[in-house]
Amino acid sequence: MGIISNPPSLLNIIDFMKKKGAIIEIVLAIVSLSSVLILILIVVFVFNEALPALLFLGPRLILGGKWAPYYEEYGALPLILGSLLVVLGSALIAVPLGVLSAIFLTEYLPRSLGEPLRSIIELLGTIPSIIYGFLGMIFIAPVISNLFEVPLGKTALTGSIVLSIMIVPTIVSISSEVIASVPKEYKMAALALGATKWQCIKSVILPTAMPGIFASILLALGRAIGETIAVLMVCGCVPIIPSPPWNYLSPVHTLTSAIALDMGEVAIGSLHYHVLFGLGVILMLITFTVNTIADILLKKAPRSVIRV
């Protein structure tokens, strides 16, 4: 008793440190919640500006078949179909390319070779979209023009080709992570039963990795729908519904390029201005749905792939 007694001053220091720690934690929590705030602000402000158009046009905004803002025709159907056409086309090219690449990189190449090659493919995804648009305009459009005899060569097909290269890295990157995360025991069991490498991949690895591969495809599609500049430069920006609707050699206009092109010259507060935000809301709903499904699927991956 009394030999080791905390002097009050030390107690005060510990008390102070505890309080300081608590304050810092609260400050960090508040700063971290700013991302929640940003998300809320984005949704509220874009939706708020879209509201007049949504109220005035109602379902006509989505179902209207004619987009001619200067004649006050605000039907976004041609734009939505244009976006879907280009995105589906790009998926048809990018999915086989990306998934097969991911299988090859993770299962057939040693890690020391597969990793660097994967990084080069990932570099494709970091090249700015303006450069893709530029290359598409200068090199791909003339080829399309000559091959199929369409003037200018700015078509849905051109857009799909350019876009597919832009989204392939997303598929390769996430798919190969998912494929690599399939437990080794599964593979060994299959090989021990006498399966060949391809049989093992086909009937063990791919089925296990399938939800994750689907997720990677969806994430790539989400990115494709939101892509603006490259699509604007190579798709021709003609707001018509192609006839027949799957005619890839027709020029198309998309949701994103309509926003980008018109925003610069629109009168603030006009119906046209609000309609552009309405297009933004449609775009956000599509990407949100696609990304949410992808998130749910990714959680089903064998070992949860690290993604924050």
- Could you identify the residue written with the tokens 């879907």? 84
Of the ranges 61-69, 94-102, 152-160, 243-251, which one interacts with other proteins (CB under 8 A)?
94-102
Dihedral of CA atoms 178, 99, 285, 77 in degrees, nearest 10, equals: -170
> Which one of 3-11, 36-44, 64-72, 152-160 is the stretch in contact with other proteins (CB under 8 A)?
36-44
How far apart are the C-alpha atoms of 161 and 176, rounded to whole Å?
22
**CB 54 to other proteins: min, Å:** 15
- Contact (Cβ atoms closer than 8 angstroms) between residue 154 and residue 141: yes
Name residues contacting other proteins, limited to 243-282 (CB under 8 A): 256, 259-260, 263-264, 268, 276-277, 280
The answer to whether residues 240 and 254 touch, using CB atoms and an 8 Å cutoff, is no
Out of 19, 63, 73, 119, which residue is the one contacting other proteins (CB under 8 A)? Answer: 119
Q: Which of 1, 3, 55, 306 binds other proteins (CB under 8 A)?
A: 306
Distance (Å, rounded) from C-alpha 175 to C-alpha 219?
A: 11
d(CA 126, CA 169): 9
Distances (CA, A) of 99 to 84, 175, 287, 298: 21, 7, 21, 16
Q: Which is nearer to other proteins, 131 or 147 (CB)?
A: 131
We find the least distance from the C-beta atom of residue 63 to other proteins, in angstroms, to be 22
Least distance from other proteins to the Cβ atom of residue 243, Å:
27
Q: How far is the CB of 26 from other proteins (least distance, A)?
A: 10
Residue 39 binds other proteins, judged by CB under 8 A: yes
Q: Which of residues 202-231 bind other proteins (CB under 8 A)?
A: 219, 222-223, 225-229
If the CB atoms of residues 170 and 208 are measured against other proteins, the closer one turns out to be 170
- 285 belongs to the binding site for other proteins (CB under 8 A): no
Task: Considering the complex, state which of residue 109 and residue 247 has its C-beta at the smaller distance from other proteins.
Answer: 109
- Report the nearest approach of other proteins to the CB of residue 294 (Å): 8
The answer to whether 242 contacts other proteins (rule: CB under 8 A) is no
73 is a contact residue toward other proteins (CB under 8 A): no
- Smaller CB separation from other proteins, 47 or 186: 47
Both tokens assigned to 119? 């990084």
Stretch that binds other proteins, among 52-60, 126-134, 143-151, 182-190 (CB under 8 A): 126-134
95 binds other proteins (CB under 8 A): no
Q: How far is the CB of 145 from other proteins (least distance, A)?
A: 16
